[in-house]
Structure 1
Amino acid sequence: MSSTMGTGPVGEVEVGADAIEASRVNGTAVYNTEGDHLGHIYDVVIGKRDGRVKYAIMSFGGFLGIGEEYHPLPWEVLKYDERQGGYVVGITIDQLQSAPRYGADARPDWATSDYGRRVNDYYGVAY
């Protein structure tokens, strides 16, 4: 093990500035470039074959989990801002209102490429 990685007193891995455990990403705040708090990371979607993070699922709206909507954001559109302690995405609240999303009682069909393509097209990211 290198000197920059090790385990903490309860087995937590100390990671470098450019790596983080998925469990720590969940719950991280998401802001837009104007500084508005949009929501938080609810989950991440990982490619089965290449192991790369494809999307961050952002929870938006609602109160105490009621009425929340989930917005898949292509991982490439998120930039981590240490100053804010969260991710920043270049989208306004109005643009987010018409972005691809789903409710708590629905799940997107990740098995087809149509859904991912629609999300990526909305955010201007190559699929």
Structure 2
Amino acid sequence: MMQRTMTVASAGLLAGALTAGVLAQGTPQAVTERRVDVIQLAAGYRASKINGAAVFNRNKDKIGTVDDLIVAPNDRKSAYAILSVGGFLGMGKHLVAVPFDSLQISSKQVILPDATKESLLALPEFKYAPD
């Protein structure tokens, strides 16, 4: 995405952060480990495979495309799919947010069963926060 050059000041900050990390190695950590079923997790849906996927409704009408996946900042357990609806070749597209759990993924196809292009276009437009 965006390429940035490292300045002398940022190199100094990085060196300071690394030094602080080395000095803090003996302090107790607040991170707790949790076992994950890695076999089951590996069969899950990778964001890199979902981004750009066509979204269909129950009638197999293409109603949009997955533009992005976002985790809510206040509730990190809530994920949303940002869908691109309408437009042509990226021009005039309308972005909307839908809860990720409202999507069905079956046979490598993303389905939002009861939606139509019109119902998605009626949702409030989603705009990304500035970087």
Fold similarity call, TM over 0.5: yes
Structure showing greater radius of gyration is 2
Gaps of 5+ in 2: 1-36
TM-score, structure 2 as length reference: 0.58
Runs of at least 4 residues off by over 2 Å: 2-5, 47-53
Aligned-pair CA distance for 1:25 = 1.4
The one of 88, 100, 115 equivalent to 2:111 is 88
Number of residue pairs the alignment of both structures matches: 93
Aligned-pair CA distance for 1:51 = 4.0
Gaps of 5+ in 1: 6-13, 109-127
Indicate the structure with greater strand content: 1
Contact 1:44 1:53 in 2 (8 A): no
Q: Distance in 2 between matches of 1:98 and 1:3?
A: 39
The one of 15, 19, 43 equivalent to 2:42 is 15
Contact 1:39 1:59 in 2 (8 A): yes
1:7-86 to structure 2, matched below 5 A, reads 15-16=42-43, 19-48=44-73, 51-82=76-107, 85-86=108-109
Contact 1:29 1:41 in 2 (8 A): yes
Seq. identity, %: 28
Q: Is 1:107 paired with 2:128? A: yes
